[in-house]
A and B are shown apart, each in its own frame.
Chain A
Amino acid sequence: MFAEFGHFALVTAFAIAICQSVIPLYGYFTQQDTLIATAKPLALLQGFALAVSFAVLMHGFLVHDFSISYVANNSNLYLPWYFRLSAVWGAHEGSLLLWALILAVWGVAVSLFSRGIPDEMASLVLSVLGMIGIGFIAFMLFTSNPFERLLPFAPANGQDLNPLLQDPGLIFHPPMLYMGYVGLSVAYAFAMAALIAGRLDATWARWSRPWTTIAWSFLTFGIALGSWWAYYELGWGGWWFWDPVENASLIPWLVATALMHSLAVTEKRGLFRSWTVLLAIAAFSLSLLGTFLVRSGVLTSVHAFANDPERGVFILGFLIVVIGGSLTLYAIRAAAVSEPGRFGWLSRESWLLFNNLILTVMAISVLLGTLYPLLVDSLGGGKVSVGPPFFNAVFVPLTAILVSFMVFGPLTSWQQMKDTRQYRPLIVAGLVSVIAGLVWPTQMLGAYSIASALGTVLALWLALGTVIDIRQRILEYGSVRVMSRKVGAGFFGMWTAHIGVAVTIFGVAMVENHTEHRDLRMGPGDVQALGPYEVRFIQLEKIQGPNYVADRVTFEVWEGTRLYQAVMPEKRLYNASQMVMTEAAIDPGFTRDLYIALGEPLGDGDWAVRLSIKPFVDWIWAGSFLMGFGGIVAITDRRYRRVRARKAALLEDRVAPA
């Protein structure tokens, strides 16, 4: 009976979502405060109902309730408990439930942390979130119910979780990514609410900013975790494949990055309002499009799982309603939006405008590259695919331009830059970076490469530029203490994130141009050189895991006459699914990763072996972490809290005389 309880909770959540979207909206238009006030409690209730539903499914996994079809398909008696928990979101139905739950959690967060925002505004936001909730819960109830039973013939054991997903990376990657994807719905809901209420102003931008930034941070963490997981679990040491599913997360990320920067202009200067709204609509619509691409199976992808086209049709319909509806509302309302004030051509506004232009072009290129095969196929042009060379050709030059904006932008004043002498240290830093870029690649393994030099120049210039910006601020305010009090957490967040971009660019440039990589045939006793090391094949043994058997090879890595380390990559055969999986052995390091993986047995005790040295590969994820962390730093800014404090003071004033 327990699973039915979860299903019931889901139906209840559906009903609540309908109330949450209709009642406050009706209250808003008829000016009834009691109806407006229902939004927050309804959002809390919806969160509770979905949490119950989610907990029931999790319980099903923990107690091996194989009468639930979803559990039977994705779990097994021998699956360790922590993977049984993460298996809840290991496949389609459960990941949708997680999606809906996270959406509801964002709703709960909005109702708890929106005290600085007028009630009618918050209720409009929650109403829009409720509408999105209706879409997703309906999707689950009608096409992909996670509580469907296999009765009366429940299997004695499950089919096991896809072995690729039996990994700690999968415990965190989807929830993080979804927090980001779904978090963009809050930015979207704020934009919609502002359009409905007809108040697209600086206040709206200030309310919307922390929500956008935190969603962006989660998205950054989610993408980075996914890339890291791909690196050690499935990618044979690659960290990004320009795979449609990866692109599906990168496109909203690029647009959300543009949105964050455009919101800054809207808040500080009241400009770019229409553009900001469009970006908010685009960011969320693109994350829905991402879901459609991942879940419908229309694209060939390494991530593609067996899919059901009907589900794709549902999401596509939902997507059309969301985009069509919001653009219609935009068309009706945006005409009334006036843009106050002007700005000079050499101003922070201009730099941010061009930054937005570049980020948008990046997003459009990735989108075109991802959808092009679909387009050609639907026009009868046959099956084609677009490879990494396209994306690299587009991304490298655009990144170079973007970095120069990131160097000059923060040091430029709003409205009009009067004194361009401030740019001089940046130009000196640029020259220093060019010299460093010419020299550095000669210090690395492999041939000299222009791309590596370019990456070095950009990374160093951006890092130096950021440091120069910090230094100028300190000089401006006299001391570090005064500066850190005056500029606010937003600047610290920006600096952290920009340094993060520099770190990631450097990691990418090094790994892509100086990786030493060899696929070899090796047997017991064989020795192979790998960069400064010697790798020896010591022995092969069979080991028994909880739900798999594995071949494990011990390699010794020697540095001259000294034994540096012994590593043990595995080749696993999972019992239930009979799937073969590679567990690479990675020795991580600050300046390089040592990566050893087993291919397949070749007979006579020989194995195909992949040996590589990946210079600075961990910098890619370290930099991404800095970016996401920068976002978290930025939202601690005092002014977001000050609004709340001021509002509280206002309330007290009002209460006191009564």
Chain B
Amino acid sequence: MNPKRKQRLLIILGMVFGLGIAVGLVMYALSQNINLFFTPTQIATGTAPDDQFIRVGGMVREGSMTRDPSSLQVAFDVTDFDHNVRVTYTGILPDLFREGQGVVVQGRVHNGLFAATEVLAKHDENYMPPEVTEALKQSGQLDKIMGRN
């Protein structure tokens, strides 16, 4: 094998090896950092794991929101119209957060309560997060929302 070819082969082998290791590490890091999505029904029926970081999507139930009078703590129900999950959150809610609107919350379930560390509502009021659509589809209540908009 001439030296030029040999160098090329070494470079390519090195690159494949390096990329292989990198992709392996990336996949490992991915598996450690994904957040699974659950519907309110899955949480109410206990299918969702306790104390694990997860996402829940659904609609904020009308009239369910309560505020602590002295701090930034709020609580509200996220519903797929079959079951509700009580969510607690301390902090500032996004501008588009409203009762009766779609929302995605991230956090952990503990004793049936969902302690959210993040509340996401979207840019555009006509936009429905895919998670919420999914949750409502599973509970068979999607038409209720689509009819209204």
Which residues of A approach B to under 8 Å, CB–CB?
162, 164, 234, 236, 297, 300, 302-306, 339, 341-343, 353, 357, 360-361, 364-365, 368-369, 372-373, 376, 382-387, 389-390, 393-394, 519-521, 577, 579-582, 599-600, 602-604, 608, 610
Query: Which of A360, A364, A382, A385 is most buried by chain B, counting CB atoms within 10 A of its CB?
Result: A385
Residues of A within 8 A of B36 (CB): 382-384
**A580 touches which one: B27, B70, B96, B129 (CB < 8 A)?**
B96
Residues of A within 8 A of B30 (CB): 368-369, 372, 386, 390
Instruction: Tell me if B34 is interfacial: C-beta within 8 Å of chain A.
Output: yes
CB–CB B96/A599 < 8 A: no
What is the CA–CA distance of A164 and B121 in the complex, to the nearest angstrom? 14
Instruction: Tell me if B64 is interfacial: C-beta within 8 Å of chain A.
Output: no
If A361-B19, A365-B26 touch, whether A389 touches B33 (CB-CB below 8 Å) is yes
CB–CB B125/A579 < 8 A: yes
Residues of B within 8 A of A306 (CB): 124, 126-127
Majority DSSP secondary structure for residues of B touching A: mixed
CB–CB A364/B22 < 8 A: yes
If A164-B123, A393-B33 touch, whether A521 touches B70 (CB-CB below 8 Å) is yes
Residues of B within 8 A of A382 (CB): 36-37
CB–CB B123/A353 < 8 A: no
CB–CB B124/A365 < 8 A: no
CB–CB B131/A394 < 8 A: no
What is the CA–CA distance of A390 and B29 in the complex, to the nearest angstrom? 6
Residues of B within 8 A of A368 (CB): 23, 26-27, 30
Given contacts A162-B124, A390-B34, 5 further A-B contacts (CB under 8 A): A162-B123, A306-B124, A383-B36, A383-B55, A393-B33
In the complex, the chain B residue whose C-beta lies closest to that of A383 is: B37
Residues of A within 8 A of B120 (CB): 302
Instruction: Tell me if B50 is interfacial: C-beta within 8 Å of chain A.
Output: no
Residues of A within 8 A of B127 (CB): 304-306
Residues of B within 8 A of A610 (CB): 92
Chain B: residues with Cβ within 8 Å of the partner, total of 45
Which residues of B approach A to under 8 Å, CB–CB?
3-4, 7-8, 11, 15, 18-19, 22-23, 25-27, 29-30, 32-37, 55, 67, 69-72, 90-93, 95-96, 104, 120, 122-127, 129-131, 134
**A608 touches which one: B32, B34, B72, B131 (CB < 8 A)?**
B72
If A364-B22, A384-B37, A599-B72 touch, whether A300 touches B130 (CB-CB below 8 Å) is yes
What is the CA–CA distance of A361 and B69 in the complex, to the nearest angstrom? 50
Residues of A within 8 A of B71 (CB): 521
In the complex, the chain B residue whose C-beta lies closest to that of A580 is: B95
**A384 touches which one: B27, B34, B125 (CB < 8 A)?**
B34
CB–CB A385/B35 < 8 A: yes
What is the CA–CA distance of A610 and B93 in the complex, to the nearest angstrom? 11
CB–CB A305/B124 < 8 A: yes
CB–CB A603/B34 < 8 A: no
CB–CB A393/B4 < 8 A: no
What is the CA–CA distance of A373 and B104 in the complex, to the nearest angstrom? 16
CB–CB B92/A236 < 8 A: yes
What is the CA–CA distance of A387 and B125 in the complex, to the nearest angstrom? 24
